Chains A and B, each alone.
Chain A
Amino acid sequence: MLTEVFFHAFIGGGLIGLGAFLLLLFNGRIAGVSGIAYTALATSGSGNHWRWYFIAGLIMGPLLAQPFGFTLPDTIVGAFDTTDSPLNNTLVTLLGGILVGFGTQLGSGCTSGHGICGISRLSSRSILATCIFMLSAFATVTLIKHGFGGI
C-alpha cells in the first residue's frame, strides 16, 4: 500500500520531468511555473502566447490523469487546519499566496524552476534556493504543528 503511494509519486515525478524536458528541447524554455505565470501576465505580444498554452495545459492536465483513477483533492487544507473556519482559512490562504508570489519573484523561482530544472542543471543558485525554501518550509510547518503548545 505504502510502496504503491511512493511508486505513484515516482511515476508522477517522471511525467513532470518529461514535460519539463519537452519544453526545453522544443521551445528552449525552463519549465518554471512561477516565472511563466508572472511573465504571461506582465508582458504581451505573440512571443508570450506559448506561456498561456503551457498554463492551459497545466489547468487541463488533471483531466488526463482522471481515467487512471487520479483526481484533484476535494478539500484544500493547509498547515493551520482551518476547515471549521472559512474566514480564517481565507485569511491564511491570502497571506500564504502573497508570500509565495513575493518570494518566488524575488528568489527567481519555485519548486519547479529551482527544485527540478535548476538542480538537474547543477545550478548552484538553484541548489541553494531549494535547500533554503525546504528548510524554511520545514521550520514553518514544525512551528505551526508543534511549536505553539502543540506536541
Chain B
Amino acid sequence: MMGEINDKKQVFSAVSIEVNSTKQNFMALISGLLFSAGLTVSTMVDPARVIGFLDVLGAWDPALAFVMLGAIIVYMPLYWLVIRRKRTPLLGREFHLPSKIKIDGSLVMGAVIFGIGWGITGICPGPAIANISKGHFSIFIFILSMVVGMLVASKFNNIIKCAQENRCNEP
C-alpha cells in the first residue's frame, strides 16, 4: 500500500520535472527571441555600428553605451529586487549563478583576447548567432572559428587546471 503511494509520488514528480523542462524550453525560446529582437532594434547586429563605438578617435558613435545602459537599467533592479528575494526560480530547483569570485589570470587574459577579436570583427557571440538567418558567408566563418577557439580554450583550461593541481599536491 505504502509502496504504491511512493510509486505514485515518484511518477508524479517525474512527470512534473518533465512538464517543467518543457516550460523551461519555452521560456528559453521567449528569452532568446526578446534578447535577439533587442539586438536588432538597437542595431548592434551591425558590426559597423559596433566598430563605430570602438573607434574612439574616429567619428565616435556612442550607441552601444546606450544599449548597455538600457539593458542594465532593466536587469539590475529586477535582479536585486526580485531575484535576490527568491530562493528558487519559477521553473527550476536553484539559481545557477557563477561560483567563481577570485580574479585570476585566465579572466584577464581571456578578456584581453576576446577584446582583440571583437575589435577586429565588430562581432561578439550574441550578434553572430542573431545574424544567422541572413546567410552571410562571413557569419558562418565567424561562428565556426569561434567554436574552434572555444574548444581549444577548453583544452587549454584543462591543462592549466591539471598543472595547478599537480603543483598543489607538492609539499
Contact = CB atoms under 8 A, between A and B. Distances in A.
Contact of A78 (B36, B115, B122): B122
B71 A139 contact: no
Contact of A120 (B25, B75, B148): B75
A115 B160 CA distance: 25
Q: What bracket does the count of chain B residues touching chain A fall in? A: 35 or more
Contact of A90 (B21, B106, B141, B147): B141
Nearest to A97: B145
Interface stretch (B4-12, B58-66, B161-169): B58-66
Interface of A: 5-6, 8-31, 33-34, 37-38, 41-42, 46-47, 49-51, 53-66, 68, 70-73, 75-80, 89-90, 92-108, 110-112, 114-121, 123-125, 128-130, 132-142, 144-146
Contacts of B89: 24-28
Interface of A, helix, strand, loop or mixed by DSSP: helix
Contacts of B2: none
A145 B109 contact: no
A68 B21 CA distance: 32
Interface of B: 21, 23-48, 51, 54-58, 62-64, 66-76, 78-79, 82-83, 86, 88-98, 100-103, 106-126, 128-134, 136-139, 141-154, 156-157
Nearest to B115: A136
Contacts of A108: 98, 100, 106-107, 110
A99 B71 contact: no
27 contacts: A11-B42, A13-B69, A20-B75, A26-B92, A28-B95, A42-B154, A50-B25, A58-B130, A61-B32, A72-B46, A76-B123, A78-B121, A78-B122, A99-B120, A100-B114, A100-B142, A110-B126, A111-B125, A112-B35, A115-B68, A116-B75, A118-B98, A121-B97, A128-B107, A136-B118, A141-B56, A145-B55
Contacts, number: 496
The winner among B28, B79, B108, B126 for most chain A CB atoms within 10 A is B28
A31 B29 CA distance: 12
Given A55-B129, A125-B101, A23 B28 contact: yes
Given A89-B138, A97-B117, A111 B124 contact: yes
Nearest to A136: B115
Given A20-B75, A61-B130, A62-B37, A135 B145 contact: no
Contacts of A140: 54, 115-116, 118-120
A104 B124 CA distance: 9
Contact of B117 (A6, A72, A100, A114): A100
